[in-house]
Structure 1
């Protein structure tokens, strides 16, 4: 579950800065952009997290071995600064500084090695972290592994809530992701791993319950493709609608601020008669900003002395930024969903047959909102789904729009529906909950009722799950209504 990202808008008249703008070609070719970065020999220290055999230039194992836990100083490598680590199989990054580097490797007999000194090589998987500084290291070459539980293993979601019956000791599992907890820029990648994901599911097992720990594709590492994508605005980043028209010429995105995007597609502009690449902004129902003050104490007129901008609340639902106006922070992860010719065809007015899928999605929304998937999802994601449905309903009422607008509305509902992830907590005995199980139930119930915790909240009242209120006069909790435990917990 992810919190919604806020976007900042600024009056176009106030933009006085000169910010270089990247072209579409530059954006669409991150590898070319990265190749311009300089390389230089850097002193690195490898933390060896497994006993590492040393190999020669022919790939033959020697008698030398580097013990686990040793700090190995290397001065022969020339890491290359890269703008997008997804293009590199082995990379490391300075979490605090936000800089990324590829880890130089050589292939010997189709096996990757890292050159640690003259005629000495080790395998990349033996490197746990790279320093100086807070450098994380990730080997993305391993996509899945086989593991065995060393004791009874609880099955949880990504935040540790039990969602299924525990797995017995000695069970063989295939896992395809690990959940990484990077606390305060800690630099020991392996020791901060928390969970493995059971392949192809949304179920996770705790690493202490597994016999052997191995790095695989991280799920919440800084640049993992499943993360939110961002773009950074240049000096003239307007907001556009699905028809390629500027929404409001009075406002721009503030330069150098990261904003969330969730889709890349071509949009045809009938006036310019061309298709340009755009990024769709992550849906936001309302944007609330504290206005910056100028020298007169008024808001919304100038840039302040400290470089702040006067803000205004804007609804950015169904809005786009032109790719040529921004720098993409993760272009590999977002694939373009259409072609220029498809964009031109979709600029035509929609007919009755074009609304079929959208109508079906709206009709099903009522059923979705009654489901556990929706009820127990974080409120912010519920609101994004609701917004997508509301916008679709308005479009269905109007029915005087382009095929592109209809397709975008359908895409938005399906996208936000896919982010609904509510689940009940698994308990061993519905009639006898543990303290930890009760805590999870209360958490889910409060998420479900959306109560004002100052007025009412979910909790256990006389042994039952209920909504209660606190009487400030009597200093006692009072019952408002009972809730069904089965709405939040299951032993199935």
Structure 2
């Protein structure tokens, strides 16, 4: 997979702090990213890389040039997008590739609310591909598009849940002479059995980081694991060959939050008091540090509530003592840093678990006890 940026999770300082880093480009001239011409099947809003709408829509049945490999953008719900070639725009892959849905009731295909598109009868128990969301006809009912450019719609009420993503599903064939271990992930990784060479599986997710690193033992950069559809069992990339490459999910970016220290930073306790490390602070550094909570804490010295991140690790590289020298690191224990002193960099965007007023009231209650 040709990625401009690759991600990996490394054990941080003394193995206690998770650090997310980004590989830098070595070459100044980049090879052209492979592209392809695809048909937009459902009017598509364009987004930027952060999931914000841009002032562009691509109409249904327009032929557009997109980068060949879809990708997962780093915001919820972590669904696949296609990047418009030569532009900083992305559209949902569902509007091009579609998804499969089960047919709950025998269904005719309609062109309008009162006219059938043809004489087809789609039988209950089969599956069909739909594109985009539903559209409302003049009769007040909602329909899914199933083809085009000639109008082809099926009543939404006759269809069930999504059974497959055409973008994120393919066949994986075991190619390793010794067979492929099947890994079960459930609060850890364990091998449950081995599949013989030539065995095929339907897989519906490709994932890097975390468990992929554990299974791969760093044998190759950016190892990938594939989920066997309908299970929480996985196959390792070196043991199988997939019919098509799936967009890669990055486990760490979908489960954790990361900040960066752009300046030497003071650390606080949960009661809002500043920790005393004899003048040392967490020093400015390039790594991205894991946090797991965002909340307001009352700061007595400032007589106000401030927004803080809770640090996942507890030992960090430190600035020098005021007179110079000092230990290379400080242990902050259960530490917090002001959100205004650091920058959110990547991963899950946290929301405060309380309000400034709630933090103020909690502090007053402790004072009166």
Give the TM-score normalised by the residue count of structure 1. 0.37
Greater per-residue helix proportion:
1
Greater per-residue strand proportion:
2
Give the TM-score normalised by the residue count of structure 2. 0.48
